[in-house]
Amino acid sequence: MHAVEPQVTVEIAQQLGLTPDEFQRIQQIMGRVPNFTELSIFSVMWSEHCSYKNSILWLKTLPRDGERLLVGAGEENAGLVDIGNGLACAFKIESHNHPSAIEPYQGAATGVGGIHRDIFTMGARPIAALNSLRFGNIELNHTRQLVKGVVHGIGDYGNCFGVPTVGGEVYFYDCYNQNILVNAMSAGIVEVGKTVSAIAEGKGNPVFIVGSSTGKDGIHGATFASADLTEDSAEDLPSVQVGDPFQEKLLLEASLEAIQTGAVVGMQDMGAAGITCSTSEMSAKGGVGMRIDLSLVPTRQSNMRPFEILLSESQERMLIVGKKGQEQLLLDVFEKWDLQCAQIGEVIDGGRLEFYYEGEKVADVPAESLVLGGGAPVYKRDYTKPAYLDEIEKFSLSKVPAPLNYQATARQLLTSPNLVSKRWVYEQYDSMVRTNSMSTNAPSDAAIVRVKNTNTALALTTDCNSAYVYADPYIGAMIAVAEAARNIVCSGGLPVAITNCLNFGNPYNPEVYWQFVHAIKGMGEACRKFDTPVTGGNVSFYNQTVIKDKTEPVYPTPTIGMLGVLDDASLAMTLSFKSAGDQIYMIGTPSNDLGSSEYLRHVHGIIYSPVPHFDLNEEYQVQQIIAALISKQYIDSAHDVSEGGLFLTLLESAMAGGLGFDIETDANFRKDAYLFGEGQSRIVVSVKPENEDELVNHLNANNVSFTRLGEVIAHQIIIDEENFGTIASWQEHYHNFLGSLMSH
């Protein structure tokens, strides 16, 4: 074995993130003590990031079947959904949290690059990107620097790669001060039957590494992503990869062209754990092994040791299994695109991964023992109800004073960075490239992306209010799914499937694991109700910061990336009021509810309060009604009530149309709850006067709760006959406030 390796001990195993029991289990699998390279292979493949060892038992309870699904959850690099016209959409969301917290620009950029590779390795061309971002207190200079780095990283990579960023969300809470969350989503289009699987098959078939050279960046990155962030984490900078979007663009075109040659058996992105991950997962899936010569891997640093070559997470690389005898077809394609394509080994029978370096065998490991569903460990963790929930149960609405001046309170509410426009962020992204986005200039609750040469459009959204999930993980996760579906329905789409990014603290903390288990239960129940199966995604544990021996987990953040389909893109619905004189209605039931609202948090400083009112059956009924109203073309706009309550919903619809509104509140409810409460399952619509009777008759016939709020007017905001000023004054503040905070 290779002479430079340290002697393997249980202490070395623990340094690599393995437990003593896991070290013992590895020795049983191997029938001997592994060498350092072999131990390194196990350490990354058995890390939480790759093996899901603390989450897979619960993930398997999520619904995975749907009539439009073409592959099951976890079967491929991304979910695949039939969208009609002989086409399918591949889509997925993943996290890049720890790298982005340490090196925000490259961490975010490589997160975008990695998720796009998951899409085009399946043979799909990425057409849209979204993201979900969480930062700490924006008043902190540290936070502003992280925001700038992440936004520039996402923008630069996406803009150079040529895929538009069409949607996303940004939140600011103190719990993310050190451990930010960067979740990136990609969606692509492929002809049904033209996809490529991440599989190795056929004894003697050649194995190629294509794309960039392999360097020392990202070694043990999967292990790094499976550990707590501490004050010393910046010393782990080699764990952060470096991205090259121009190289990725070449890799995209070359990969899609290589697939068309018919010479590709299987292909997989080289993400977490690099060559180790790709060789083991592709081999295990095909029930075969590989013989790999690491000396043949193109490297960009000299004297790289075998374990460094195996574990490097250098970006813009793929592993391809080709067809024996057709090697030249693949070599010619990659040469045309000026990319390296090096044959580094071949498929073998027997299911073992044999790695050689300079003629010497440096590792020999059974592939099946490394992977999820194979030999990777699976744990059932204990969990206990978090103590902070006792504080939430003490909340009393009667102790919250009503505002003395509602206009002043509304303006104060709009000094929350969570409620104002994220224009400062999204103007740094290119949303227009490839000219498919339909919602750039006509905003909808979800992003609408046209599928070229068809009448079809995709509706895409990312959603999760982590404050709701913190207050009640079960209902909060349900709301995340429901709001995603609501956004798609309000845009004219049919919700079809989800991908998720489950961001939580340390799974060994019983209170964190309680949050995780209950969030999974709530998510599963909501997905079954909306018939939106889970196609895949990822779990990101250890999102917390250790400062002076005190561990602070982030809010539980199960981000939902949802795909919807508009079979007729002409029926896309926007959120803007269209004409003065149009009538404004609220579909759904108001309530005396201020739970977990931004109003309570930002105006009253109340952190502990219950989750907002939510009833899953009521939500489903409201969404069904909105879908019918859009298909019957009874309404002219639809916008859901979410953060900021009814007031912000009305304000956003008015600003988008350059109009105002005149409404009355209901004296049966607290006025602050009516205007600023975030009770769910409510949607504001506008209707032409000549369609009003049809609208009301349809709602009455279907026994749906609704309220006539008032009407669209020009320029002014009037609530209960009080003039709140011109829409222009609100618009200027709404669009510019975040930029002014970022310029401090």
CA proximity to 357, closest of 710, 741, 4: 4
DSSP calls for 235-252: GGGGGS----HHHHHHHH
Task: Check if 733 is active-site.
Answer: no
Phi/psi at 376 (nearest 5 deg)?
A: -60, 140
Read off the tokens for 357.
Answer: 């370096």
Q: Which of the residues 96, 220, 602, 639 is marked catalytic?
A: 96
The helix or strand, by DSSP H or E, that contains position 616, with its residue range, turns out to be helix 616-631
Helix pair angle (616-631, 510-530), 10° resolution: 40
Please list, in sequence order, all residues whose beta carbon lies within 8 angstroms of the beta carbon of residue 85, skipping any fewer than 6 positions away.
451, 454, 456
Strands 289-293, 352-357: pairing kind: parallel
What is the C-alpha R_g of the chain? 26
Q: Where are the beta strands (DSSP E) in 192-235?
A: 206-211, 229-230
Q: Is 7 exposed, middle or buried (0-12, 13-18, 19+ CB in 10 A)?
A: exposed
The helix or strand, by DSSP H or E, that contains position 524, with its residue range, turns out to be helix 510-530
CA proximity to 627, closest of 587, 590, 654: 587
Instruction: Quote the CA–CA distance of 485 and 496 in Å, as a whole number.
Output: 9
Q: Are 129 and 112 in contact (CB under 8 A)?
A: yes
The helix or strand, by DSSP H or E, that contains position 531, with its residue range, turns out to be none
Instruction: Quote the CA–CA distance of 270 and 298 in Å, as a whole number.
Output: 14
Cα–Cα distances in angstroms (integers) from residue 490 to residues 48, 144, 459, 621, 676, in the given order: 37, 33, 10, 13, 21
- In three-state form (DSSP H/G/I as H, E/B as E, the rest C), the secondary structure along 358-427 is CCEEEEEEEHHHHCCCCCCCCCCCCCCCCCCHHHHHCCCHHHCCCCCCHHHHHHHHCCCCCCCCCHHHHC
The helix or strand, by DSSP H or E, that contains position 288, with its residue range, turns out to be none
Instruction: Quote the CA–CA distance of 270 and 92 in Å, as a whole number.
Output: 16
- In three-state form (DSSP H/G/I as H, E/B as E, the rest C), the secondary structure along 679-738 is CCCCEEEEECHHHHHHHHHHHHHCCCCEEEEEEEECCEEEECCEEEEEHHHHHHHHHHHH
Provide the CA 719 distance to its chain's centre, in angstroms: 37
Please list, in sequence order, all residues whose beta carbon lies within 8 angstroms of the beta carbon of residue 94, skipping any fewer than 6 positions away.
111, 114, 115, 118, 183, 184, 185, 501, 537, 538
The helix or strand, by DSSP H or E, that contains position 346, with its residue range, turns out to be strand 340-348
Q: Which of the residues 2, 49, 220, 639 is marked catalytic?
A: 49
Q: Are 226 and 321 in contact (CB under 8 A)?
A: no
Helices (H), 185-244: 221-224
Residue type, 68: R
Within 10 A of 454 (CB to CB), how many other CB atoms are there? 15
- Name the one residue in this structure whose structure tokens are 């538009």: 164
Task: Check if 96 is active-site.
Answer: yes
| Active centre residues (catalytic) | 49, 96
